[in-house]
Structure 1
Amino acid sequence: MSTRASIKHRSVEELGGEASVLARQRRDHVDMDQLMARHQALPDGTDREEILQQLIKLVFSHAFAEETVLWPAVRRLVADGEELTAQVENEHQQINDLTTDIERLPPGDPEREDRIRRVFSLIRQDIRDEEDELLPRLLNAVDAAPLRRLGAAWEAVRKSAPTHPHPAVPRRPPGNALLGVPLSGYDRLRDAFGLSTSAAVNRTKAITLTSALLLAVAGIVAARRKRR
């Protein structure tokens, strides 16, 4: 078996066990594939929209955990990790932008359906890039124990991550974490109380602006500390 073989068909033991970040990633990918298949098999209606919303929540919490925990580790541990994670981050940004449009357009709108098809294609491409290229290199670089530690951190972040698109949020720490914390709280309130997309967009803009100011202040403080 090639040292860069996809993790898709590897055993759980080969991936470091059930708690490994690689096993957790793959389980989420399977769930994404199943949700997309169910959505595409159904006619227009409430059930189809509910499945889409389940997918959106899964995709964005999963991606946030990747960008906050997993990709920094890949950049530290994998020789070409910078290039590989940059490619995936670009795919994530495209998914963010398209899903923002999807949430603003009404169900059944032809433009919305076109963006859904494009997002599904990007999600499938993202899964393949991760499972076939990026994650096998991480598997080759570390043992099972670090993979399980990464898995625990990844799961903790995923459970408290934003569940909707926020294109203005940076793709890398510390900016994504600083902006993501208040947005996550609002996203989960939005999910619990069924807030409209327009209200969510306005609140997101306010939170993003406030957090951006905090990020700028943090940068100034860090710069001053370096000069001392």
Structure 2
Amino acid sequence: MDALMFLRQDHKSVLGMLEVLDGAPSGAGSQVSGLETMVTNLVIAESQHEAIEEQFFWPAVRRALDDGDTLADKAIQQEQKGKRLLQQLIDSAVGEPDYHKALQAFVDAAREHIAYEQEMVWPKFEAAVSHEQLEKLGSQLEQAKKIAPTRPHPDTPPKPILLKTIGMVTATIDHVLDALTGRAAKNPPDPQIH
């Protein structure tokens, strides 16, 4: 599977969630609107997506492009900001003002980050690598997503080697907690490429 196709489907799923969450109800109305479930889906999807990008995609960008370090550093900085906002959502409750501020800030930041990737990084990356490399990277992303963390972990340094080692322990703990709490049922499906 082509890496950019896989990531594009992931982005499409997240953009759909962002569309629903943009301007979501606050106060008492948010507690009965299903907002908490939708945000849980977003946290899971985004946590997995960013983890696999940091493990595989950004190192590939660094290797393939002369300005890969600059592009990857900017993207990872955006992702870290997003993780901190997702953690704020986890740490607060639906209906609280801080929750809704963090949610709206995340919606805006995620849209900016997705646009940056798709418009600035992907065209350069696609021009620099072979179809075979895209396919191999796509397979790595697809396999990694199945076992990726389901929480943001903003304090974990976004270093590929750490994410592939310590991150795997963290991901295992996330998956066990998800199973024990019933959160696993809210895990959004992986993109299906035909």
Specify if TM > 0.5: yes
- CA–CA distance in structure 2, aligned partners of residues 99 and 77 of structure 1: 30
User: Which runs of structure 2 are paired with 1:4-15 in the superposition (5 Å)?
Assistant: none
- Structure 2 length-normalised TM: 0.87
- 2:16 corresponds to: 34
Aligned residue for 1:101, secondary structure, equals helix
> Which amino acid in structure 1 is aligned with residue 3 of structure 2?
V
- 1:192 corresponds to: 179
Point out which structure has higher relative CO (alpha carbons under 8 A, 6+ apart): 2
C-alpha RMSD over aligned residues: 1.6
Match of 1:137 among 112, 115, 124: 124
Rg (Cα) greater in structure: 1
Q: Which 4+ residue blocks in structure 1 deviate beyond 3 angstroms?
A: 40-43
Identity over aligned pairs, percent:
26
CA deviation map 1:94-149 (0-9, x unaligned): 11112111111111101110011001111111100100001111100012111011
Alignment pair present for 1:118 and 2:113? no
- CA–CA distance in structure 2, aligned partners of residues 58 and 163 of structure 1: 7
Q: How many equivalent pairs are there?
A: 178
- Which runs of no fewer than 5 residues in structure 1 stay unpaired? 1-18, 197-228
- CA–CA distance in structure 1, aligned partners of residues 90 and 67 of structure 2: 35
- 1:161 corresponds to: 148
> After the TM superposition, which of the residue ranges 43-52 and 181-190 deviates more from structure 2?
43-52
For the 8 Å contact 2:147–2:171, the answer to whether it is kept is yes
Match of 1:174 among 158, 161, 174: 161
- CA–CA distance in structure 2, aligned partners of residues 167 and 48 of structure 1: 22
CA deviation map 1:130-180 (0-9, x unaligned): 000011111000121110110000111111110111112111221222221
- CA–CA distance in structure 1, aligned partners of residues 182 and 166 of structure 2: 20
Aligned residue for 1:162, secondary structure, equals coil
- CA–CA distance in structure 1, aligned partners of residues 5 and 34 of structure 2: 29
Match of 2:45 among 47, 54, 58: 58
CA deviation map 1:10-63 (0-9, x unaligned): xxxxxxxxx100000000101001112123365412522111111111111011
Match of 2:83 among 77, 96, 100: 96
